[in-house]
Structure 1
Amino acid sequence: MDKIADHLPALSRASLLRALTWRTSLSSRKENHARIWDHIFKNDKWIVKVLQIKNGDNGAPVPCLVGSQLQKFYYGSPQRVFLALLVNDWTGDVNCLRKTFFDSLRDYEVVEKDSIIRLKGSGILLHIADAIGRNDEGWISMEDPSQLFRRRGSRLSTQAIYYNEEVLHEIGQTDIGGIDGRSMKKKKAVRDICSIKLKFREGLPVYRVFISPRKKVKVVNLQSLDENGRDWVTHWRIARRHEREWWTNN
């Protein structure tokens, strides 16, 4: 039975393991990965449809969870965890799957419409805007983006896990962008706007930007080249007097 479970997608594996009351000799990594997605979804209908979307050489979507408390969740403690569910969809097709998405979720209550839900069984707070296509050219509105990060001294980190991989990815300071020159105290540098380097389904890099609707400072975009030579807005600086906001400065 374990050999069968070993080759199943995460949610199918979770269903089988639940029937076995989670008694298994599977690696803890495979079991933990299955358990995470099982806490959120009761079936894989939405996930299957997302994984069927193609985007040529530009990067295809993949469900992904991001948050500084993901490690806690991964090892079996989902209560009071805040996570962002992303799909990294550059086609716009995910926007057509909203009904399937909500029908696939475990019991939930809406905390903020089109933004945050609470899973009733686990208490997980899940930011869903990207999963239902609510973003502005890939930029995601989030009341306080800094809650995605953990701060140790002057360095930030977070974690990510993808549906098509069982690895828990640690994301460090070099893959996190914020407003240059702003203090890390109280994570101020990433409170208004930030970026996280993630990846598309094929492994191509993608930088996701989170922006607070309460942002008060004017900023100028700063770009970086990824390893494939593609330009991304990855960090910002405070706009100078009379300088137009969002003007891109390389």
Structure 2
Amino acid sequence: MNAPANMDLSTRDNSPMEAKAVPKLIDPDAEAFVASVIRDLVECRVPFLVAGTYAVSAYTGISRETKDCDIFCKAGDFLRILSNFQSHGYSVDVIDERWLGKISQGRHFFDVIFASPDGTMPVNDNWFEDARRFQMCDCSVRIAGATELIWSKCFVQLRHRYDGADVAHVILKAHDKIDWRKLLEYLEVNWEVLLIHLLNFRWIYPSERDKIPDWLMDELLDRLSAQRDLPLPQTKICRGRMYSRVDFEIDVKEWGFADVSGDGEWRDEEES
């Protein structure tokens, strides 16, 4: 089931937005560092997006404490940003070449991110299409679009960190800025994760169910109904590793389940 062709799926309003709130830095001394970083990013003229807690605050008005600032960029620009800051005397670390770098000055730091840890969420030109401009540290910067912000948080479900509340709050406060068609495309392979978050939102806010398009719920529930009539997969898979590699480590190392990629044991028909 697809959305009607004449349905407006996104406002595509790229006009400057006034942030509803800004986070509170745990270390007040970091404010000068963040301001300097933002100015340097703007001056280096490499495309970037502000995401993470700063983006959630801008869309929802929730002002919570944070220890750093998350900067998203494309993979090629990741190298340019790190090189630029290294040339300006900052300490640079490539934490994980698949997705994450860290730039620091003394005890202060910020993250530079170009994908998800499993590589399934690369930052590309689509991320910049619906990005919104807002003022941060007296600079005009682009903030990740509400659609991409939700996508970036859907899989953050570790024992010590869960971003489901952020997803629900962004839907509540910025539903009119979400391109639902694009969000479904992003999560096409992992559509059940999207359905889980939408059901979670409906349960949390029963009076706000209309914030989610009916066609999207119909599409996802239609898929669920079709899936129930199919036989179980023959390969034992644990996609929980996309949530937490640590919490679901035993499934792969001892219980015979395949990781996100790779081979796993075949399901014993006698178990069913």
TM-score bin (small chain): 0.3 to 0.5
Which structure shows the bigger proportion of residues in helix conformation? Answer: 2
Task: Please identify which structure carries the higher strand content.
Answer: 1
- Greater C-alpha Rg: 2
